[in-house]
């Protein structure tokens, strides 16, 4: 259907517009740091891009998903269409985000030698202080890692957006408390029973493991979200 | 092909309360339908189920034979204007018109722009910056310009001032004349639209009380007035909907058609839709 | 307009009045169904029904793709029709009311004369 692709295009362009603002800020910060650090002898270190993109996609998943489902409902696009097109859209945006990351990295790596530009991949799988220039394959792996992790985070966002949509205000507080408790509990478990050490070893063994660590829960969250969406009463946000 | 929406044996419960109880209605053809009922009768719930914004507890709803859940083909034939704003808060009115055109190529941007001018709606404003009244007007304008096979208005004139109400009704008929389509207007303000609607569906506490051409409804009852004793003797054996006494004068609303000749001293009058509606509801309530 | 009549008859009556008074002269076009329904805020089907009352009576005729026109001789036809109804619609009622008020035939006739003079 022609209008279905129009709906997807709207979602994608809407996301890109938001990302455009974010990337401009990041680029500005980087340029600022080049200028600032170039006068110093010490070595700076930037590895925030990956992390920033994960947060960005998570927030996007939370904020944009409901908007798309609502707007879709107003114009005769079903829940299914709105849901899956949003997810496809987030995958595409994650790709754009990751590619921008690689470009930024290449640019920064060549621009100034006094700053050590390292992303998640270098920090975990390479000695970030030693190897600044990545091979093409390593760049690709770094990008793929960022892509899949960012995409997973967007699914977590979708999950929370829909979960908090269907539960009443009373249960909302309980749900938030439960999530906080779960994170704390798993954190303390990791510390206490050496699980953390084992997990860390497993993660550092291969980037694929880290990808799986994010993707599997994302898949679970995605499936749960789809079933939760059945019970959502689609209502407006304000007036 | 004739546009057809079939509501088949729909029940919707919210927790313990039942909003709709085994409701079946068929909307068919390019008519102006009135969905009438008091607040809480289940009108909005029904419309939300038809547009898949709610899911029924039991039953199915089809548009041209296709069930609505997860069905773009069925859902895109309907456009439903409610008091809910489903547009992103920071979207500007102009952008909303653009988006409407993008998603529904039949949307007439020129009509929308001219209507915005008539209603003095500022297209540069953000949707969430509009007042309650202008929020409704904004959505009404899209409904009047979208040209889907079926357009649904849920309490369209709530929050509109007298001048804008009048304008809306005129524009609605103009739209209907220019682009015949199925219109469903849900309202509890019956008097205003009784001459507009061809077919009436009256909901009462989640059930269908009446579902027939408005003309039939208007002819379904008559009112008789006169001295109490005369009226009382006339009423015996008749289906009386309501009666009122003022001094020695009694007025009764009677179901059915009057006999050709009324006893001397009695006055006969037609019952308008609003009065008939009130009589029906009062009769139900006294049961 | 007569309040208690169905809306399509009210519209028909209004149109007839327009033809009688010369608002719509012979062979002139009357407003379209859409114009009537928008002005009176009534369903176009009702407006059509009202107009068809006049079409059936031979007072209006249809020009395909153009609209509705007043038939030649329609005002005369209406005048004859209304004259026939005048006794039943006005005189009978006036007499009934006059009787209940205790007015005599002479008194009513005198009032009629006065009415005609005042109208001039």
Domain containing residue B276: CATH number: 3.30.70
What's the burial of B11, exposed, middle or buried (CB within 10 Å: 0-12/13-18/19+)? middle
Containing domain of residue B173, as a range?
Answer: 4-213
Q: Is B56 on the interface with A (CB under 8 A)?
A: no
Which one has a higher pLDDT value, B187 or C65? Answer: B187
Containing domain of residue A133, as a range?
Answer: 2-166+206-229
Q: Which of A158, A141, A132 is nearest to A209 (CA)?
A: A141
- The total domain count for chain C is 2
Q: Is A2 on the interface with B (CB under 8 A)?
A: yes
Q: What is the pLDDT of residue B91?
A: 94
A213-230 pLDDT, tens per residue?
Answer: 899 999 999 999 999 998
Of B165, B187, B213, the domain-final residue: B213
The gap from C-alpha B167 to its chain's centroid, in whole angstroms, comes to 18
B148-170 pLDDT, tens per residue?
Answer: 999 999 999 988 999 999 999 99
- The total domain count for chain B is 2
As a whole number of angstroms, the distance between CA A34 and CA A98 comes to 22
As a whole number of angstroms, the distance between CA A142 and CA A128 comes to 13
Residues facing residue B63 across a β-bridge: B5, B66
Q: Is C33 on the interface with B (CB under 8 A)?
A: yes
Q: Strand runs (DSSP E) across chain B, as ranges? A: 4-14, 17-28, 32-36, 58-63, 66-67, 78-81, 150-154, 182-187, 199-204, 207-213, 221-227, 240-246, 249-255, 267-270
Q: Is the dihedral of CA A153, A158, A161, A164 positive or negative?
A: negative
Q: Which of B135, B54, B186 is nearest to A238 (CA)?
A: B135
As a whole number of angstroms, the distance between CA B64 and CA B85 comes to 27
Residues in chain A closer than 8 A to B84 (CB atoms): 235-236
Q: What is the pLDDT of residue C3?
A: 45
Chain C 37-56, residues with CB within 8 Å of chain B CB atoms: 37-46
Q: In terms of domains, do C13 and C55 share one?
A: yes
Q: Distances in Å between the alpha carbon of A171 and those of A166, A168, A177, A178?
A: 10, 5, 10, 10
pLDDT at A32 over 80: no
Q: Is A238 on the interface with B (CB under 8 A)?
A: yes
Domain membership of residue A178 (yes or no) is no
What's the burial of B63, exposed, middle or buried (CB within 10 Å: 0-12/13-18/19+)? buried
pLDDT band at A68 (very low <50, low <70, confident <90, very high): very high
- Measured torsion, CA atoms of residues B280, B285, B286, B287, in degrees rounded to the nearest 10: 90
Closest-approach residue (CA) in chain B for C7: B195
State the chains in contact with B (3 or more Cβ–Cβ pairs under 8 Å).
Answer: A, C
Question: In whole numbers, what is the pLDDT of chain A averaged over residues?
Answer: 82
pLDDT band at A206 (very low <50, low <70, confident <90, very high): confident
Q: In terms of domains, do B9 and B135 share one?
A: yes
CATH (domain of B171): 3.40.50.300
Q: In terms of domains, do B16 and B122 share one?
A: yes
Domain membership of residue C88 (yes or no) is yes
C43 Cβ contact list (under 8 Å, min separation 6): B32, B173, B195, B196, B197, B198, C37
Phi, psi (degrees; rounded to nearest 5) at C65: 75, -5
DSSP code for B130: S
Inspect the interface and report whether the beta carbons of A70 and B88 lie closer than 8 Å.
yes
What average pLDDT score do residues B17-46 get?
94
Q: What is the pLDDT of residue C86?
A: 87
Three-state secondary structure call for residue B131: coil
Q: What is the pLDDT of residue B244?
A: 85
Q: In terms of domains, do B226 and B207 share one?
A: no
Q: What is the pLDDT of residue A112?
A: 55
As a whole number of angstroms, the distance between CA B137 and CA B160 comes to 8
As a whole number of angstroms, the distance between CA B228 and CA B219 comes to 24
Inspect the interface and report whether the beta carbons of B103 and A235 lie closer than 8 Å.
no
Domain membership of residue A143 (yes or no) is yes
Residues facing residue B226 across a β-bridge: B250
Residues in chain B closer than 8 A to A81 (CB atoms): 70, 72
pLDDT at B87 over 60: yes
Inspect the interface and report whether the beta carbons of C44 and B173 lie closer than 8 Å.
yes
Phi, psi (degrees; rounded to nearest 5) at B137: -60, -45
Q: What is the pLDDT of residue C1?
A: 30
Containing domain of residue C42, as a range?
Answer: 7-74
What average pLDDT score do residues B211-231 get?
87
pLDDT at C29 over 70: yes
Q: Match 């988006």 to its residue by tokens.
A: B99
Q: Strand runs (DSSP E) across A153-207, as ranges? A: none
Domain membership of residue A198 (yes or no) is no
pLDDT at A111 over 70: no
Q: In terms of domains, do C70 and C27 share one?
A: yes
Q: In terms of domains, do C36 and C68 share one?
A: yes
B&C contacts, CB < 8 Å: 41
Q: In terms of domains, do B249 and B209 share one?
A: no
Q: What is the pLDDT of residue A4?
A: 86
Among A177-181, B258-262, B276-280, the least confident range: B258-262
pLDDT above 70 as % of chain A: 83
Q: In terms of domains, do C100 and C88 share one?
A: yes
Q: What is the pLDDT of residue A200?
A: 81
Residues in chain B closer than 8 A to A70 (CB atoms): 86-88
Residues in chain C closer than 8 A to B177 (CB atoms): 33-34, 37-38, 44
Q: Which of A122, A155, A3, A68 is nearest to B105 (CA)?
A: A3
Interface probe, candidates A67, A76, A168, chain B, greatest B C-beta count within 10 A: A76
What average pLDDT score do residues A54-79 get?
93
C44-62 pLDDT, tens per residue?
Answer: 999 999 999 999 999 999 9
Residues facing residue B250 across a β-bridge: B226, B245
Q: What is the pLDDT of residue A115?
A: 59
Phi, psi (degrees; rounded to nearest 5) at C66: -110, -55
Among A113-127, B255-269, C30-44, top mean pLDDT goes to: C30-44
Q: In terms of domains, do C61 and C79 share one?
A: no
CA-based radius of gyration for chain C: 18
pLDDT at A1 over 70: no
User: 3-state SS string over C58-103?
Assistant: CCEEEECCCEEEECCCHHHHHHHHHHHHHHHHHHHHHHHHHHHHCC
Residues in chain B closer than 8 A to A237 (CB atoms): 85, 89
Q: What is the pLDDT of residue A237?
A: 75
What's the burial of A32, exposed, middle or buried (CB within 10 Å: 0-12/13-18/19+)? exposed
Instruction: Determine contact, residues A29/A103, Cβ cutoff 8 Å.
Output: no
As a whole number of angstroms, the distance between CA B168 and CA B170 comes to 5
Q: In terms of domains, do B107 and B203 share one?
A: yes
Q: In terms of domains, do C16 and C69 share one?
A: yes
Q: Is A239 on the interface with B (CB under 8 A)?
A: yes
ipTM: 0.89
What average pLDDT score do residues B198-214 get?
93
Instruction: Determine contact, residues C46/C11, Cβ cutoff 8 Å.
Output: yes
Inspect the interface and report whether the beta carbons of B85 and A238 lie closer than 8 Å.
yes
Nearest to C34 among B177, B198, B270 (CB): B177
Domain membership of residue C18 (yes or no) is yes
As a whole number of angstroms, the distance between CA A107 and CA A119 comes to 13
pLDDT at C16 over 60: yes
Q: Angle between the B162-178 and B132-145 helix axes, to the nearest 10 degrees? A: 10
Alpha-carbon gap: B278 to the closest alpha carbon of chain C (Å): 18
Q: Is C1 on the interface with B (CB under 8 A)?
A: no
Inspect the interface and report whether the beta carbons of A76 and B76 lie closer than 8 Å.
yes
Closest-approach residue (CA) in chain A for B102: A6
Q: Angle between the C44-56 and C33-40 helix axes, to the nearest 10 degrees? A: 120
A137-189 pLDDT, tens per residue?
Answer: 888 888 899 899 999 999 999 999 998 888 866 777 887 888 888 888 877 77
pLDDT above 90 as % of chain A: 38
Q: In terms of domains, do C60 and C35 share one?
A: yes
Among A85-89, A166-170, B245-249, the least confident range: A166-170
- The total domain count for chain A is 1
Residues in chain A closer than 8 A to B70 (CB atoms): 78-81
pLDDT at B187 over 60: yes
Stated as kind and residue range, the H or E segment containing A116 is strand A115-117
Q: Which of A160, A171, A168 is nearest to A65 (CA)?
A: A160
As a whole number of angstroms, the distance between CA A77 and CA B91 comes to 19
A81 Cβ contact list (under 8 Å, min separation 6): A4, A7, A72, B70, B72
pLDDT at A129 over 90: no
Q: Is C2 on the interface with B (CB under 8 A)?
A: no
Which one has a higher pLDDT value, C115 or A3? Answer: C115
As a whole number of angstroms, the distance between CA B93 and CA B91 comes to 7
Q: What is the pLDDT of residue A167?
A: 80
Residues in chain B closer than 8 A to C9 (CB atoms): none
């Amino acid at each position: 259907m022609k209008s279905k692709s129009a709906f997807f295009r709207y979602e994608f362009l809407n996301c890109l517009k938001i990302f455009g603002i974010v990337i401009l800020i990041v680029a500005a910060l980087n340029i600022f740091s080049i200028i600032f650090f170039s006068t110093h002898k010490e070595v700076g270190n930037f590895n925030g891009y990956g992390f920033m993109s994960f947060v960005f996609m998570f927030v996007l998943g939370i904020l944009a998903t409901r908007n798309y489902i609502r707007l879709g409902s107003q114009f005769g696009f079903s829940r299914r269409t709105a849901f899956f097109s949003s997810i496809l859209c987030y995958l595409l945006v994650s790709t754009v985000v990751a590619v921008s990351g690689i470009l930024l990295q290449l640019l920064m790596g060549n621009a100034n030698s006094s700053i050590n530009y390292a992303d998640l991949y270098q920090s975990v799988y390479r000695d970030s202080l030693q190897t600044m220039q990545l091979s093409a394959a390593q760049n690709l792996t770094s990008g793929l890692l960022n892509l899949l992790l960012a995409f997973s985070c967007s699914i977590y966002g979708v999950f929370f957006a829909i979960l908090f949509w269907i539960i009443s205000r009373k249960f909302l507080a309980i749900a938030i408390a439960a999530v906080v408790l779960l994170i704390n509990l798993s954190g303390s478990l990791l510390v206490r029973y050496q699980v953390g050490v084992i997990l860390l070893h497993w993660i550092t063994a291969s980037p694929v493991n880290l990808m799986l660590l994010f993707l599997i829960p994302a898949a679970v969250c995605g499936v749960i979200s789809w079933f939760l969406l059945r019970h959502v009463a689609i209502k407006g946000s304000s007036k | 092909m004739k546009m057809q929406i079939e509501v088949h044996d729909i029940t919707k419960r919210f927790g313990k309360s039942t909003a709709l109880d085994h409701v079946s209605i068929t909307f068919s053809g390019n008519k102006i339908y009135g969905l009438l009922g008091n607040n809480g009768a289940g009108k909005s719930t029904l419309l939300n189920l038809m547009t898949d914004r709610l899911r029924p507890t039991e039953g199915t709803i089809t548009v041209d034979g296709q069930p609505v859940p997860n069905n773009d083909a069925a859902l895109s034939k309907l456009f439903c204007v409610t008091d809910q704003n489903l547009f992103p808060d920071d979207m500007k009115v102009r952008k909303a018109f653009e988006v409407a055109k993008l998603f529904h190529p039949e949307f007439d941007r020129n009509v929308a722009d001219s209507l915005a001018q008539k209603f003095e709606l500022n297209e540069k404003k953000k949707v969430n910056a509009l007042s309650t009244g202008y929020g409704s007007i904004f959505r009404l304008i899209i409904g009047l310009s979208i040209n889907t096979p079926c357009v649904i208005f849920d309490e369209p004139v709530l929050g509109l001032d007298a001048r804008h109400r009048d304008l809306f009704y005129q524009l609605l008929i103009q739209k209907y004349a220019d682009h015949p389509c199925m219109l469903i207007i849900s309202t509890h303000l019956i008097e205003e639209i009784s001459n507009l609607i061809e077919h009436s569906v009256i909901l009462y506490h989640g059930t269908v009380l009446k579902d027939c051409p408005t003309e039939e409804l208007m002819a379904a009852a008559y009112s008789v007035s006169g001295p109490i004793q005369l009226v009382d003797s006339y009423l015996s054996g008749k289906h009386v909907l309501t009666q009122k006494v003022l001094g020695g004068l009694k007025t009764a609303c009677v179901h059915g058609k009057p006999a050709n000749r009324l006893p001397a001293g009695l006055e006969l009058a037609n019952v308008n839709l609003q009065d008939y509606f009130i009589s029906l509801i009062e009769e139900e309530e006294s049961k | 307009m007569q309040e208690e009549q169905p809306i399509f008859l009210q519209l028909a009556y209004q149109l007839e009045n327009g033809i009688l008074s010369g608002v719509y002269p012979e062979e002139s076009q009357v407003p379209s169904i859409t114009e009537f329904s928008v002005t009176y805020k009534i369903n176009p089907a009702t407006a059509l029904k009202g107009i068809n009352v006049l079409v059936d009576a031979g007072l209006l005729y249809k020009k395909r793709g153009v609209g509705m026109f007043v038939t030649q001789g329609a005002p005369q036809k209406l005048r004859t029709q209304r004259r026939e109804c005048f006794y039943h619609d006005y005189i009978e009622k006036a007499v009934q009311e006059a009787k209940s008020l205790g007015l005599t035939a002479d008194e009513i006739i005198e009032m009629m004369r006065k009415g005609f003079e005042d109208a001039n």
